[in-house]
Amino acid sequence: MRTAHNIAFTMIILLNKVSAVPEYALPYLRQLKSDTIQLLPSIVLGGKRTLHLFERASIEDLFRYIYFFDHKIEHILLQKYPKRFQSFNSLVDWAKDHPSLSLDSETAAQCFDEITSQYAELSRTVHGTTVADQQLLESLQDLGRPISEVAQENRRMKSLYKNIFFLLLLFHITEFRKLQLDERTLICRCLDGPQIGVLSGLATH
């Protein structure tokens, strides 16, 4: 619960600091904030599948935001023709080639590999490929049961959101470096050492 609260709080602080976001990209950023906050009730209610749904949605929110940040016409067309949407793989491919994210960085490349692998793993739970993932409820008391293998879920959440934060910060690197020291310190608690090095400009690959 503490991990989810820290991630949600950090996301709120960070997204409130991001400026100059085009109006047509803003909904995807707000959705990322909303889905991150939804981690908290998912954990309280003990729903593994629901938790994974919002974690997976956060990945999609991130890549949609990066894509639509530079695609006003595509955003307008999506509202008019909802079936004309970009696939997840095409969104990732776009992000990989984006000038802000295509640095010659081993850390960035590893982040893309990890987050796409995490997306595939979460998708298996969301689509309920095994009975163990379904977690059927038979009474109201079941709503309060804790998530099984809490330590594993905690590690998964930390690993996932460090990659989400890293790509988002890399996308807004100039604004990140202008934040106050205490704000950067708070955000960096959700990252690992190599990622902090890249964002601070102290490490290159």
Q: Angle 184-63-69 (CA atoms, 0-180°, nearest 5)? A: 80
Each residue's pLDDT tens digit, 150-195: 778 889 999 999 999 999 999 999 999 999 999 999 999 999 999 9
- The pTM of the full predicted model, rounded to 2 decimals, is 0.88
Each residue's pLDDT tens digit, 38-47: 999 888 777 7
What's the chain's average pLDDT? 87
Per-residue pLDDT, averaged over 128-144, amounts to 56
Q: Which domain covers residue 19, as residue numbers?
A: 2-134+146-200
pLDDT for residue 67 is more than 80: yes
pLDDT for residue 204 is more than 70: no
Q: Residue holding tokens 């590690």?
A: 155
Task: Classify residue 152: in a domain, yes or no.
Answer: yes
Task: Classify residue 139: in a domain, yes or no.
Answer: no
Exposed/middle/buried for residue 182 (C-beta within 10 Å: 0-12, 13-18, 19+): exposed
Task: Classify residue 86: in a domain, yes or no.
Answer: yes
Task: Classify residue 141: in a domain, yes or no.
Answer: no
Question: In degrees rounded to 5, what are phi and psi of residue 14?
Answer: -65, -50
What DSSP character marks residue 145?
P
Task: Classify residue 117: in a domain, yes or no.
Answer: yes
Per-residue pLDDT, averaged over 90-94, amounts to 95
Q: Angle 65-70-72 (CA atoms, 0-180°, nearest 5)? A: 95
pLDDT range class, residue 135, cuts 50, 70, 90: low
Task: Classify residue 69: in a domain, yes or no.
Answer: yes
pLDDT for residue 205 is more than 50: no
Specify the number of domains making up the chain: 1
Task: Classify residue 9: in a domain, yes or no.
Answer: yes
- Reference 25, options 10, 12, 15, 35; nearest CA is 15
What DSSP character marks residue 19?
-
What the block records as the tokens of 167 is 């790509």
Go through 73-107 and write b for each residue having 16 or more CB atoms within 10 A of its CB, e for each that does not. Answer: eebeebeeeeeeebebeebbebbeebeebeeebeb
CA distance 17 to 179: 8
